């Protein structure tokens, strides 16, 4: 049976001192944990955190990757560079990237491809806005977003992690009910099954305001294989409680 994957997204938070204290607390509290864990940190802290998680069960993750391999792309960071920093995971297509940086489904598909080619596991985010959910378009939206990634990456699709993050539940304190989350996860699993015989071993994470109090019920759902955790990943007791629930 596959282990649950709990990935923390620090977003634009952290400092050298705070990072060291947080990782120290996570390492101490994770002894004997039965889930996989990753922390996705701001790019400037990748080297520091790579040292902090060395010889631990915590995987290092980045929050974005370039769609290009190299060249005149000021401010961009390639997948090969991330790999050289010891990165194992990278978040691709987070709703904040789509919203604030205009990332399209096609861009997300190419970024996924670049990560896979460099040996970095992409955590591909899909999810609908409140307006899309209220219009009954949830399934249409998430299937369209995932279809672009499947189309571009073909048989390699079994190597990705998918994260369902209802945009209306990110940072709002609102959470999809376990039944709502499971319903979308089941849709995504079926779509992956149509693309690869290995879909059952793939992780589909829930990523909308998962916290210490709701994690156990969400993680008990059949097709929820872990969480992509935002604010709660910055507090060691909360993040460890979610890991314990997994």
Active site residue 165: yes
Active-site option among 94, 96, 103, 185: 94
The annotated binding site for substrate is made up of 9-11, 171, 209, 230-231
What's the confidence (pLDDT) of residue 147? Answer: 98
Find the range with the poorest average confidence among 65-79, 143-157, 166-180.
Answer: 166-180
| Cα Rg of the chain (Å, integer) | 17
Could you give the CA distance from residue 56 to residue 108 in angstroms, rounded to a whole number?
30
Active site residue 183: no
Burial degree of 27 (CB within 10 A; 0-12, 13-18, 19+): middle
What's the confidence (pLDDT) of residue 233? Answer: 97
What's the confidence (pLDDT) of residue 1? Answer: 75
What's the confidence (pLDDT) of residue 229? Answer: 97
Could you give the CA distance from residue 48 to residue 61 in angstroms, rounded to a whole number?
12
The annotated binding site is made up of 9-11, 171, 209, 230-231
55 band by pLDDT with thresholds 50, 70 and 90: very high
Q: What is the pLDDT of residues 161-182, one digit of tens each?
A: 999 999 988 777 777 899 999 9
- Percent of all residues in the chain with a pLDDT value above 90, rounded to a whole number: 92
Expressed in percent and rounded to 5, the helix, strand and coil fractions of the chain are: 50, 15, 35
The answer to whether 3 touches 36, Cβ cutoff 8 Å, is: yes
Active-site option among 96, 128, 165, 203: 165
95 band by pLDDT with thresholds 50, 70 and 90: very high
Backbone phi, psi, residue 182, to 5°: -60, -40
77 band by pLDDT with thresholds 50, 70 and 90: very high
Q: What is the pLDDT of residues 199-246, one digit of tens each?
A: 999 999 999 889 999 999 999 999 999 999 999 999 999 999 999 999
Residue 202 contacts by C-beta under 8 Å, 6 or more apart in sequence? 158, 160, 161, 162, 192, 196, 225
CATH classification of 5-245 is 3.20.20.70, yes or no?
Answer: yes
What's the confidence (pLDDT) of residue 30? Answer: 87
Q: What is the pLDDT of residues 10-34, one digit of tens each?
A: 999 999 999 999 999 999 998 777 8
- Other CB atoms within a 10 A radius of the CB of residue 11 amount to 18
Mean pLDDT of the chain: 96
Q: What is the pLDDT of residues 111-148, one digit of tens each?
A: 999 999 999 999 999 999 999 999 999 999 999 999 99
What's the confidence (pLDDT) of residue 62? Answer: 98
- Structure tokens that stand for 88 in this block: 């194992």
**Length of the chain in residues, anyone?**
246
Contacts by residues 46-51 (CB-CB < 8 Å, ≥ 24 positions apart): 46/82, 46/85, 46/86, 46/87, 47/85, 48/16, 48/19, 48/20, 49/19, 49/23, 50/85, 50/86, 50/87
Burial degree of 218 (CB within 10 A; 0-12, 13-18, 19+): buried
The answer to whether 40 touches 62, Cβ cutoff 8 Å, is: yes
What's the confidence (pLDDT) of residue 46? Answer: 98
User: In the chain, where are the structural domains located?
Assistant: 5-245
- Structure tokens that stand for 168 in this block: 């209306």
Q: Which of 98, 226, 219, 220 is nearest to 162 (CA)?
A: 226
Could you give the CA distance from residue 55 to residue 225 in angstroms, rounded to a whole number?
25
């Amino acid at each position: 049976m596959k282990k649950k994957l709990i990935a923390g997204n620090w977003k634009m938070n952290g400092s050298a001192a705070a990072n060291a204290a947080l990782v120290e607390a996570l390492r101490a509290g994770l002894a004997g944990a039965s889930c996989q864990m990753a922390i996705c940190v701001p790019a400037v802290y990748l080297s520091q955190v790579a040292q902090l998680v060395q010889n631990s069960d915590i995987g290092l993750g980045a929050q974005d990757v370039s769609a290009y391999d190299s060249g005149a792309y000021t401010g961009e960071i390639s997948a090969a560079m991330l790999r050289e920093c010891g990165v194992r995971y990278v978040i691709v297509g987070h709703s904040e990237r789509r919203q604030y940086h205009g990332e399209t489904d096609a861009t997300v598909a190419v970024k996924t491809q670049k990560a896979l080619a460099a040996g970095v596991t992409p955590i591909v985010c899909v999810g609908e806005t409140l307006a899309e959910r209220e219009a009954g378009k949830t399934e249409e939206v998430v299937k369209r977003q995932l279809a672009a990634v499947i189309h571009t990456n073909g048989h390699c699709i079994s190597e990705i992690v998918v994260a369902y993050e209802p945009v209306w539940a990110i940072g709002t304190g609102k959470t999809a009910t376990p039944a709502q989350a499971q319903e979308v996860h089941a849709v995504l699993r079926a779509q992956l099954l149509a693309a690869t015989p290995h879909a059952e071993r793939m992780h589909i994470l829930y990523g909308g305001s998962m916290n210490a109090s709701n994690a156990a019920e969400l993680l008990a759902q059949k097709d929820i294989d872990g969480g992509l955790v935002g604010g709660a990943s910055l507090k060691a007791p909360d993040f460890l409680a979610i890991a314990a629930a997994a």
